Amino acid sequence: MASVQRAATYVEKGGVGKTTSAAHIAVAAHNMGHEVLLVDLAGTQNDLATHFGLSIVDEETADDGVSIDAPISAVFGDDWAFLRDNIDDLLDRMTFPTDEGPDLIPADPGLGGADNNLANVPLEERYQKLDGFVEDLVADQYDLVIFDLPGKEDNIALNGLFAARNVVAPLKPGAFERDQLQKLDATLEEISADLDVDLGLALIIPTIISSQETLSESFVEYVTEEYPEIVGEPVTKTADIGNNQNTGRTLFAVPDDELYATGKRAREAYSANTGQLLSRLTDR
């Protein structure tokens, strides 16, 4: 493997803070001196791009935003080797800079078709496409790559897991989420055995945590007891995250006097969690 560090935000459920966590971890890591690439594989809504105020549009309406020249879905296609070997600035054409430091490869509409097409690829090659992309193009330019994966176990997600090796699991309080965490842990063990890869949980982030809610308290206690070595700092429930996401910025881009106390605590938690994650990536 190349020296570039990798992680993926992944839980088989939406609405738990995967994309928010990916964005904030990426910015925090950049602020700690790392060259960071974010890769959005979570679908065509481009929530990661929205998080950074980037409007991704098709070529016909490019005046209203930026269009994708070289899509990430091409990595999974039959022509990828030709593109990789014949376009010198291919990675530059795939990435967009953000105002907060990390570079971003946005999702594109071709990911759905790419997932279907991967089913026709021989099993020994099917889940290594993204890993090859990282080794061939990304490792020379970045210290850290973070994949935001779909909330389902499809071929794209499995490619992301294989390439990342390290899984960040954001989870909000709830009995269903507890079950999902146990299922995820077991699933990663199965995938590791099936794909012959060292894959595992690197960090669990309790999200949308309120000190005034018993459910939050019991959930944090549960994950801390069950996963003491990899549970991160709970991220406080705050309106600041959604409000600032709508304006195209993470909490790290917001002046202190524009944040509630809950927003400041959430920002501090993401910084602490990023430091913990980076130390675990170094250890693995």
Mind listing the pLDDT tens digit for each residue in 105-128?
A: 999 999 999 999 999 999 889 999
The whole-number pLDDT of residue 63 equals: 53
List pLDDT tens digits, range 126-158: 999 999 999 999 999 999 999 999 989 899 999
The whole-number pLDDT of residue 1 equals: 44
Alpha-carbon span 281 to 276, nearest angstrom? 9
List pLDDT tens digits, range 179-226: 888 888 888 998 888 888 889 999 999 999 998 899 999 999 999 999
Torsion-angle region of 8 (φ positive above 0: left; ψ -120 to 50: alpha; else: beta): beta
The whole-number pLDDT of residue 179 equals: 83
pLDDT at 44 over 80: no
Query: pTM score, two decimals?
Result: 0.94
Tokens of 16: 């738990």
Beta strands in the chain (DSSP E): 5-9, 36-40, 56-57, 66-67, 96-97, 103-105, 144-148, 166-171, 200-206
* pLDDT band for position 2 (cuts 50, 70, 90): very low
Side-chain-side CA neighbours of residue 207 (13 Å): 26
Alpha-carbon span 249 to 131, nearest angstrom? 29
Q: How large is the average pLDDT for residues 169-175?
A: 90
The whole-number pLDDT of residue 187 equals: 87
Between residues 88 and 100, the one the model is more confident about: 100
Alpha-carbon span 23 to 146, nearest angstrom? 9
DSSP letter for each residue of 98-159: -TTS-EEE---THHHHHHHHHTTS-HHHHT-HHHHHIIIIITTT-SEEEEE--SS-SHHHHH
| Number of neighbouring beta carbons within 10 Å of residue 247 | 10
List pLDDT tens digits, range 223-265: 999 999 999 999 999 999 999 999 999 999 999 999 999 999 9
Alpha-carbon span 221 to 201, nearest angstrom? 18
Helix or strand run (H / E) with residue 22:
helix 18-31
Phi, psi torsion values for 209, nearest 5 degrees = -95, 130
The whole-number pLDDT of residue 165 equals: 94
* pLDDT band for position 56 (cuts 50, 70, 90): confident
Q: Chain-wide mean pLDDT for the chain?
A: 91
Residues 6+ apart with CB under 8 A from 272: 232, 233
